Amino acid sequence: LFRALKFINNVNESLEMQLMSAETDVRLFVELVQQVTLLKEEIDTVHLIEGIGIGEEHPHVANHQDNVADITSKTNERLEEVSKLKDVVRTMSKRDIITKFGPGPHRVRIDLSFKDGPNYFVVEMASLDLMPHAVEVFLEQVDHGLWDGCAFVMNAMHVIKAAPVAFKPEYGDKAKAFIDAKLETLSFPEYSDSFPHKAYTLGFAGHPGGPSWYINMVDNSVIHGPGGQSHHVLDGHGDPCFAIVVEGFDAVKRVQEVPTRDGIWMEERVGITKATILTSTKGQKKDDTPPTTT
């Protein structure tokens, strides 16, 4: 077991380093392409003024093009390595989930601090064939009790966001608890076009994702999908979408209706009193039709 855990940690660390290097290469590549484009425009302008044929080769442009080609080659190599490491992590995540939590479908109940009325909702995880890494991280967070005592803190109308912030002082430093458990973030921003950010789905916030998560209150497939956010650097990167609300829509609506200040931060946080992994509901009838959104 110790060797297996050590191997997993090594793979995750390697993946994170490779991903950071790939993103750096992509940024450099984009900058070089922009430089080449501007240089060509400047040279063409000079040629036009001097009556020289536009588009003729220039040594400075050629040098930049060589740099672009070199960066492109290195970036492709890194991306191929990253892709292989992602596949390893996904395979291990799926295997570990089945071993520890069963084949699923996996559901989590979120109890809220409302004293009466609708005060909980249930979410069902995405298929393990689509989002195994994100699902494993969330299930492990819940299994470790990390979300107990945290709170919903933000209502941006299109999303409501839960964060590792203590609902009450006695819950202590929740952010540190996630870090200590080494469950504060995903190893990479896992995303599947087959599980987009439709209304009432859950997504990890930030890059590469977590620990904060949000509920999409409208269809956010575009703005939270690939390229929709500034931190979506590589092609195919989108916020990890990993679950969907299947029960307790009234409770979710209550969270959204909490008054805000500055149009975003909740005047009073809504506490998550308990997050619980439920037993498999496979074969049972479930209410998985979200209400109509406006």
Residue 135's contacts (CB-CB under 8 Å, 6 or more residues apart) are: 93, 97, 106, 125, 126, 128, 242, 243
CB contact at 8 A, 124 and 241: no
Report the sign of the C-alpha dihedral through residues 258, 119, 171, 163, in that order: negative
169 DSSP 8-state letter? G
Burial class of residue 155 (count of CB atoms within 10 Å of its CB; 0-12, 13-18, 19+)? buried
d(CA 216, CA 26) in angstroms, rounded, equals 29
pLDDT tens per residue, the chain (294 residues)? Answer: 445 555 555 555 555 555 555 555 545 555 555 555 665 566 566 555 555 454 455 555 555 556 656 666 666 666 677 778 888 889 999 999 999 999 999 999 999 999 999 999 999 999 999 999 999 999 999 999 999 999 999 999 899 999 999 999 999 999 999 999 999 999 888 999 999 999 999 999 988 899 999 999 999 999 988 876 665 455 567 899 999 999 999 999 999 999 999 889 999 999 999 999 996 544 333 444 555 554
- Cα dist. 251→90, 161, 167, 175, 292 in Å? 32, 14, 17, 25, 15
Give the tokens for residue 149: 């005592």
Measured in whole angstroms, how far is the alpha carbon of residue 143 from the centre of its chain?
20
Q: Enter the pTM of the model.
A: 0.74
